[in-house]
Amino acid sequence: MPKSTTKISSAWRRKIHEVIYEADTPVGKAFDVTLLIVIIISVLLVLLESVPALGAKYADEFILAEWIITVFFTIEYILRIISINKPTKYIFSFYGIIDFLSTIPLYLTFFIGGINALLAVRALRLLRVFRILKITRFIGEADKLSKAIKSSLPKILVFLFAVLVISIIMGTIMYLVEGAESGFVSIPVSIYWCIVTLTTVGFGDIAPVTPMGQFLATIIMIMGYGIIAVPTGIVSAEYTTGGKDSDDSDNGKLQIEDPNYRHVNTQVCQNCMARKHQDDAEYCHKCGYSLDV
């Protein structure tokens, strides 16, 4: 199997692959930096374009810039595909989809008819803001964070369910007590207000005016104040105990320490006697010989 793959891949494809997918070589680093800058610029453009004053004044400049960026991303996307042996694997990966969404918006506008104010098109063009997700490629530590959150997710979900139940019941009561004249026009709106209050956000666009309503609001706030402690406590425990009491106890702890290290086992390659194979290795990293007997 290694042989066959070696045949069908030419030198320049290897070169491209090295530049785009790896950051070890100077060229690879340069490419990453350029990509990072272009992503940030492209997102800033989306934001600024939405400012009425700027959007109107620099319409042409925005379109031009969008064209340049789209072309850049198009080339990147194509190179990413052709420099891999199994393109489908990349295309349907998380980043493959993000990269695709980062490229198409401008092209799609042709089929819908130019850059006009239709909601569909606006939505379409705002898709470009998701390019920000391309940056996550460069955030290694994010792994740790998301891991810590994931490990405490079940507890947090139960807690969120509790918040929801409380909001639905208290929201219904507030709707009954306050009524429409003070902004509690319907139960869904009351629930919205309840969550605004429980989470201690408190916009104040809706606020109780009756003594009874204010008394209930007080109880909701105190509850919110009390239960805000729960998710915090959960995550604190996660971090303090190094995620020890989370399901993936053994390697979970280590990846929280440093994602740049992988556990290696005592396997020895049948072919070249190489040791220190990663636990999930299927082929020897020294001679490419299959490890599963």
Q: Does 178 bind a second copy (CB under 8 A)?
A: no
Q: Residue 202 contacts by C-beta under 8 Å, 6 or more apart in sequence? A: 196
Residues 211-230 that bind a second copy (CB under 8 A): 211, 214-215, 217-218, 221-222, 224-230
**Residues β-bridged to residue 290:** 283
- What is the C-alpha separation between 242 and 249, in angstroms, rounded? 9
CB 203 within 8 A of CB 238: no
- What is the C-alpha separation between 231 and 235, in angstroms, rounded? 6
Stretch that binds a second copy, among 62-70, 71-79, 110-118, 201-209 (CB under 8 A): 201-209
Backbone angles phi, psi at 127, to 5 degrees: -50, -30
Residues 2-31 that bind a second copy (CB under 8 A): 2, 5-6, 9, 11, 13-15, 17-18, 21-24
Q: Does 78 bind a second copy (CB under 8 A)?
A: no
Residues 253-272 that bind a second copy (CB under 8 A): 254-255, 257-258, 260-268, 270-272
CB 164 within 8 A of CB 193: no
- What is the C-alpha separation between 282 and 293, in angstroms, rounded? 10
Residue of 90, 91, 99, 210 interacting with a second copy (CB under 8 A): 90
CB 204 within 8 A of CB 183: no
Q: Does 34 bind a second copy (CB under 8 A)?
A: no
Q: Does 118 bind a second copy (CB under 8 A)?
A: no
24 or 60, CB closer to a second copy? Answer: 24
Rounded least distance, CB 285 to a second copy, Å: 4
Tokens 């320049």 sit on residue: 12
Residues 43-62 that bind a second copy (CB under 8 A): 43, 46-48, 50-52
**Residues in binding contact with a second copy, number by CB under 8 A:** 144
Q: Does 88 bind a second copy (CB under 8 A)?
A: no
